[in-house]
Chains A and B, each alone.
Chain A
Amino acid sequence: MYFSPAALLLALTACEKEARVIAADQPQTSPRGPQDPRAAAYENNAYQVSQGGRYFSWYGCGRCHASGSRGDLASAGARRDLPHLYASIAHGHTSGARIPPEQIWQLAGYIRSLPRIDPARRKRQDRDLRGEPQGPTWTGALR
C-alpha cells in the first residue's frame, strides 16, 4: 500500500490530465450514480484513457466497434456519461461480468474520450496497437 502517499502527492500537484499512477488509486466499485466524481478522474486522464484503449483491443471490443464502422462508439461517448457507459459494458455484454471494475472504468473513460480524439490520431493509435491481442486471437508479432 506504499503507493498511496505518492498517489496523493501526484493528484495534488500534477495536472489532472497527465498524472500517472500505476496502482489503482480509486475505490474499486461500480459507479455510485450519475454524479460519481471518479468519472472525471478516468475520462480526463491521459494514462487511464490509454489503458482503456488497450483493453478495448484486448477484450475484442474492436470486432464490432472498430473506428469508422457502424458500431463506432464515438457518438455514444458524446451522448452518454461515464456511469451510463459503465453500466452498458458491465451488464449489456455477456463478457462484461468478467471484466474487473477498474478496467471497466478505464474502458468507459476511453469511450468517453473518443469524440474528442481527432480521427487521424485515433487511426494512428490503433496502428500502434495492431500488434496487441485482438480479443481471443493473437496473430503474433507484426512483420
Chain B
Amino acid sequence: MSRLDETWADRPGWWGFLTTVDHKRIAARYIVTVVAMLFLAGMLALDMRLQLSAANGTRMGPQLYDESFSLHGSTMLFLVSVPVMEAMGIWLVPLMLGARNLAFPRLTAFSYWLYLGGVLMLWVPHALGITPDLGWFEYPPLSGPGYAPGHRADIWAQMITFTEVAALSASVNIAATILKMRPPGMTLARMPFFLWAMLIASLMTIFALPAVMLVTSMLIADRLVSTQFFTPAGGGDVLLFQHLFWFFGHPEVYIIFVPAVGFVSAIVEAFSRRPLFGHIAMVLSLLSISVLAFGLWVHHMFAVGLPRLGNDFYTAASMVIALPAGIQIFCWIATIGSGRPRFATPMLWVVGFIATFVIGGLSGVMVASAPLDLQLTDTYFVVAHFHYVLVGGAMFPLFGAFCYWYPKATGRMMSERWGIIAFVLIVGGFNLGFFPMHILGLEGMPRRVYTYGPEMGWDGLNLLATIGSTVSVLGGLVLVANALLSYWRGAPAGADPWGGPTLEWAAPSPPPPYNFEHTPVVTGVAPLWEHDDLPVMTGLKDDAREVLVTSVLDAIPLYRQHSPAPSIWPLLCALAVSAMFVGSIFTAWAILWGMVPIAVGLILWFWPVRGRATSGPLRARGQ
C-alpha cells in the first residue's frame, strides 16, 4: 500500500507541480483554467448584454463590441467547451477503467501546457489592447492581409493552432487508453456508455481538427508570406475557408455535445438506479451521429449562394440527425420512467438539460431548412439557437457532471441546498434571458450589432434578455462558491456516495495517485451493481510504475507496460512549441529555426532510459 504510494507520488513542491504526469492533477488544472475562462468570457457577455439592454446604448462603441463578441465566442468554444470535455475525459477515463494512468502520461501534461499557451495567446494580447475583432470564425477576405491590418487575426489563428494541437494530443491519449487499457472482462460490449462517448468524441476530434488547423495555417500563410489561397484575384477562393472551417466547425459542436451525452447517461443511470435503457441503441445512435456530423457542414453556408441541390441535400442531412438525437432523449426518459429516480442536484441538471436542449433542437431543425435559414441567418434567432444547444446541451450536463463527480474528486459533498439554488438561478435565468431572443430574431434584430434605435421597438425584450442573463451569471457564481466552500466545509463523501455503477466509485475519494490498489475484473456494464465485492486481478508491480495493456475487442490481458515517470520535458517542449507558434506570427523563419529547439526537446523527452528488451516481440534484433 505505502509502496504503491511511494511509486506513484509526485515530488513535493514546485518541481512536482511542473513535472507531474498524474492525470487527476492535470485534469484539475484544466478545470481551474476553464472556470477562470468561463468567468472572464461570462463577464464579457454580461457587458455586452448591458450595452444592448436599451436602445442607443453608450457603454460600448462598435469596435469594443466587435472585440467583445469575438473574444467571448472564441473563448467559450476553443478555451472552454472543447478543453473542458477533454479535461473530464482525462480525469475520468482511467478511473472508469480501473487503470493507474492514461496511456501516454507525459502527453497529458504536454496537452495541458499547450492549452494554457492558447489561453495566454488570446488573453495576454487582449490585456495589451490587441484583441481579435472578427468573430469566432474569421472569414477572409475580411481576415486577409488587405482588410485585417496588424496582428489581431494572426493572434486568433495561432490561438486555434495551440488549442487544436492540445486537443489532438488529448484525444489520441484518451482513445488509446480506452482501446488498450480496459480492465480484464470489460469487452467492448460491456463498456460503460460514458467511455463510448469519450471514445467517439476523441475519434471525431482526430478527424475534424486537422481541417481547422489547415485552414488557419493557410490564413496565416496568406497574411505572412503572401500566398493566395483566399484571394479570388490571385486564383484563390474565399469559400474554401468556409468549407474547411465548417468541416471542422460542425463536428466540433458534436465533439462538445457527445461527451455531454455521456455525462447525462452516467447520471441518469446512477440516479434512476437501473442500467441505461437501450444501451445498444444509444451506442449505435451515438455512432451514427458521429458519422452524420461530418456530412452537415454546408448548413452553415446556406446564405452564400450554393447550388440548390447542395442546399437541399444538406437540409435533409441536417434533419436526419434529429432521429438519433431523439432516440437518445427517449432512452433517457425511459430509463428515468422505469427506474426509481432520485432527484439530487446532478439529476436536476439532467432535467434542465432535456428541457432546454429539446428547445434548442427544435430551433435547430428550423434553421436546418435552407429557405427559413435565409430569413433567420445572422439574426438573434441564431444567437438564441446556439446558446440553447451550447449552454443547454453542453454546459448544463457539464454542471451536472461536476456535481456528480465532485465528491469523488475532492472527498467532500457539495451543499445540496446551494446546489438547488444555483440550478434554479442558472436554468431559470438562462431561459428567461435567451427565449426572448428567438422573438427578437423573428422581428429582424441582426446578430453582432452594437446597438439599435428606439424606433425598432426591441428595447423591452432586450432588457428582459439582460435581466435573465444577469440572473444566470449570478447562479454561476453561486455554483462556483458552493464548490469552493464545500472543498473545505463539505461533509465527507466516502468512496461511493451516490451508489454509482461504474468502477470510479470503487476507488477512494479522492483517489490516491495510483487510483486503485488492484486492477478490477469486470463482468458487466454496471460492475459495482453486480458484486458486493469487486473481483480483482493482481500481478502489477507495486515498486514500479506499471499499467495493464489488454486487447482491443475483448480486453484480454496482454502485457504489463511501463508507465512513464514525471518529467520536465513535456513543459519544456511545450515552451519550445509555443515559441515557434508565437514567432511565426512575425516571421516565417520562426518555423524553421523554431523546429530546432522542438527537435532537441523531443529527443530528450524520448531518450531511452531502459535497455532493449531481450525477449518478446520487441527484443533487439540478433538476440
Interface residues of A (CB under 8 A from B): 2-3, 6, 10, 13-15, 17-23, 46-47, 49-50, 53, 118, 120-121, 123-131, 142-143
Is B226's CB under 8 angstroms from A6's CB?
Answer: no
Is B129's CB under 8 angstroms from A124's CB?
Answer: no
Over the window 197-225 of chain B, the binary record of Cβ atoms lying under 8 Å from chain A Cβ atoms (1 yes, 0 no) is: 00000000000000000000000001001
Given contacts A13-B129, A142-B232, contact A128 B144 (CB under 8 A): yes
Interface of A is mostly: helix
Over the window 135-150 of chain B, the binary record of Cβ atoms lying under 8 Å from chain A Cβ atoms (1 yes, 0 no) is: 0000001001111011
Q: Beyond A19-B129, A20-B133, list 17 extra A-B contacts (CB 8 Å).
A: A2-B58, A3-B61, A6-B61, A14-B128, A15-B130, A18-B129, A21-B63, A23-B61, A50-B147, A120-B226, A121-B226, A124-B234, A127-B146, A128-B141, A128-B145, A129-B146, A131-B233
Given contacts A15-B129, A124-B231, contact A46 B149 (CB under 8 A): yes
Cα distance A14–B155 when bound, in Å?
Answer: 15
Q: Whose C-beta in chain A lies nearest to the C-beta of B142?
A: A128
Neighbouring A residues of B274 by C-beta, 8 Å: none
Is A13's CB under 8 angstroms from B128's CB?
Answer: yes
- B152 interfacial contact with A, CB 8 Å: yes
- B326 interfacial contact with A, CB 8 Å: no
Is A124's CB under 8 angstroms from B130's CB?
Answer: no
Q: From residue 56 to 102 of chain B, which have CB atoms closer than 8 A to chain A? A: 58, 61-64
Is A49's CB under 8 angstroms from B141's CB?
Answer: no
In the assembled complex, the CB of A26 is this many whole angstroms from the nearest CB of chain B, namely 16
Is B128's CB under 8 angstroms from A15's CB?
Answer: yes
Q: Whose C-beta in chain A lies nearest to the C-beta of B130?
A: A18
14 A-B contacts, Cβ less than 8 Å apart?
A: A6-B61, A13-B128, A14-B128, A18-B130, A18-B151, A22-B61, A125-B145, A126-B146, A127-B234, A128-B141, A128-B147, A129-B146, A130-B233, A142-B233
Is B63's CB under 8 angstroms from A128's CB?
Answer: no
Q: Whose C-beta in chain B lies nearest to the C-beta of A49?
A: B149
Interface of B is mostly: loop
Neighbouring B residues of A49 by C-beta, 8 Å: 149
Is B145's CB under 8 angstroms from A124's CB?
Answer: yes
In the assembled complex, the CB of B616 is this many whole angstroms from the nearest CB of chain A, namely 56
Count B interface residues, CB 8 Å: 26
Over the window 150-191 of chain B, the binary record of Cβ atoms lying under 8 Å from chain A Cβ atoms (1 yes, 0 no) is: 111000000000000000000000000000000000000000
In the assembled complex, the CB of A46 is this many whole angstroms from the nearest CB of chain B, namely 4
- B228 interfacial contact with A, CB 8 Å: yes
In the assembled complex, the CB of B550 is this many whole angstroms from the nearest CB of chain A, namely 53
Cα distance A62–B129 when bound, in Å?
Answer: 33
Query: When the two chains form the complex, which single residue of A2, A13, A123, A126 contacts B61, counting CB atoms closer than 8 Å?
Result: A2
Q: From residue 433 to 483 of chain B, which have CB atoms closer than 8 A to chain A? A: none
Q: Whose C-beta in chain A lies nearest to the C-beta of B146?
A: A128
Is B61's CB under 8 angstroms from A124's CB?
Answer: no
Q: Whose C-beta in chain A lies nearest to the C-beta of B151?
A: A18
Neighbouring B residues of A129 by C-beta, 8 Å: 146
Is B146's CB under 8 angstroms from A17's CB?
Answer: no
Given contacts A2-B61, A13-B129, contact A18 B152 (CB under 8 A): yes
Query: When the two chains form the complex, which single residue of A47, A118, A120, A125 contacts B146, counting CB atoms closer than 8 Å?
Result: A125
In the assembled complex, the CB of B58 is this many whole angstroms from the nearest CB of chain A, namely 5
Cα distance A49–B150 when bound, in Å?
Answer: 10
Neighbouring A residues of B149 by C-beta, 8 Å: 46-47, 49-50
Is B61's CB under 8 angstroms from A10's CB?
Answer: no
Q: Whose C-beta in chain B lies nearest to the C-beta of A128?
A: B146
Cα distance A125–B128 when bound, in Å?
Answer: 26
Cα distance A143–B232 when bound, in Å?
Answer: 7
In the assembled complex, the CB of A123 is this many whole angstroms from the nearest CB of chain B, namely 7
Query: When the two chains form the complex, which single residue of B64, B130, B226 contacts A123, counting CB atoms closer than 8 Å?
Result: B226
In the assembled complex, the CB of B537 is this many whole angstroms from the nearest CB of chain A, namely 59
Q: Whose C-beta in chain A lies nearest to the C-beta of B64?
A: A6
Cα distance A123–B226 when bound, in Å?
Answer: 8
Is A20's CB under 8 angstroms from B128's CB?
Answer: no
Cα distance A32–B58 when bound, in Å?
Answer: 33
Q: Which of B133, B141, B225, B226 has the most CB of A within 10 A?
A: B226
Is B130's CB under 8 angstroms from A128's CB?
Answer: no
List the 3 shortest-distance A-B pairs measured between CB atoms, nearest first. Answer: A128-B146, A14-B129, A46-B150
Q: Which of B64, B129, B141, B232 has the most CB of A within 10 A?
A: B129
Q: Which of A2, A13, A123, A127 has the most CB of B within 10 A?
A: A127
